[in-house]
Structure 1
Amino acid sequence: MKMDEAIFNKVKELKHVQFIQIWQPAYRIDPSLLNNDIKSIEGKDSPGKVQFKVTAFQGEDPVKFAENVSNVNGVKIIQGGHVLLVEVNELNARETAIQFASMKEVYWVSRFYPFELHNAWSRWIMDTFDTLNMKAAADSWKSQLSMSTTADSARMQLYAHGLYGQGQIVGVDDTGLDWDNIYFRDPSGTKPVYDKDDDTICESTGTHRKI
């Protein structure tokens, strides 16, 4: 719970209260940040820098919170709010994280890792509706994990419109979660039929849709 110093002293004097203490910094920091091997990640972090997420307690003034965090030596605020994204120097990252956790308004401190795009085949198929012609199909498996040619990039329609996912909410509703269920079928098509001999679903076009 949150209370000011006057209330804290009153609660401490209550007969039925056995123990009361400030929520210690050790409980407000990811234990992995207490190691001395916090390193920047090539290709994700800026050289010699690492990124942290610093979360404030609910009800804290976000402007004052950001100001206090920015006053820590070597800190650059990348994104504001009740959850700050900050960049700090790699060499003293551990000490900086501990300093964040020692602030009374801080609820949690953790490392921030930039998001990565995985599952390239699913991304390709959903964006192009093409199950065959991903450039890397004839190349090594590693090359399948990224767009390999300008032609591939041109066919990624979401990317072509500048939609990469950063700062965006994207939803995929899969009506085929139980795709042999009649309640998920397309009413304009026939009901999916289970073939017990082949252990397959025989369906007509349109019975399994992605939204």
Structure 2
Amino acid sequence: MNVKMEIIYKTSKGTESRFTSDEMRAPKAILIAEDLEKMKRLKDVTFYDSQDTSWTLKELKKFMKGIQTEPHNVTVYFDGGFDLKRKKSGLGCAIYYDQDGKSFRLRKNALIEELETNNEAEYAALHLALQELELLGVHHLTVAFIGDSQVVINQLNGEWPCYEEELNRWADRIEEKLNQLGIRPEYEAVSRKKNREADHLASQALEEIEITSTIEIKS
């Protein structure tokens, strides 16, 4: 979870000034606020998340403590591939998250036959990732979704119109699942090179190599 801080700083002589920070991870923001409190220079602080919901320091600390045992700090990479000759689609997703003070990576792919285009495969890959998030128990969090499909990212962001009926149905399915889980999506389009992990998973699915794995990432 990322937040911005709005701080009212007070000098030893009583002069006050208001500052707004850059966006940062919530634990870092809490650490800075607590340090300012120790210096007795912090008159007031308010935290704002990506939905502009405001939090006091006490509220944010309580929230962060409560989610430590659940998956959080979630980032999803997704990609879809389509084999026109065989009319088969490969879907791939890689999910990074923290839980119980540890970091994990989940990889999942799937081979399906009912799609007609590469854009449908891209949407289906994102939907696959949402199903995995549901199985993980991810809910009521901001989640970063990263893919190399400009079509999917820009349509879901509302920046591009969607004229294809089938793609609209996929977008509706995704929106419904996001609402069901209480997930606030943040979409980011990247190059295929930066999305190589999900791309490789989708390619493996087309080769009928099934991947389902979760590992702990140790620093």
Please report the TM-score for the alignment, with normalisation by the length of structure 2.
0.23
| More strand per residue | 2
Larger-Rg structure: 1
Normalized per residue, which structure has more helix? Answer: 2
Bigger relative contact order, structure 1 or 2 (CA pairs below 8 A, ≥6 apart):
2
* TM-score w.r.t. length of structure 1: 0.23
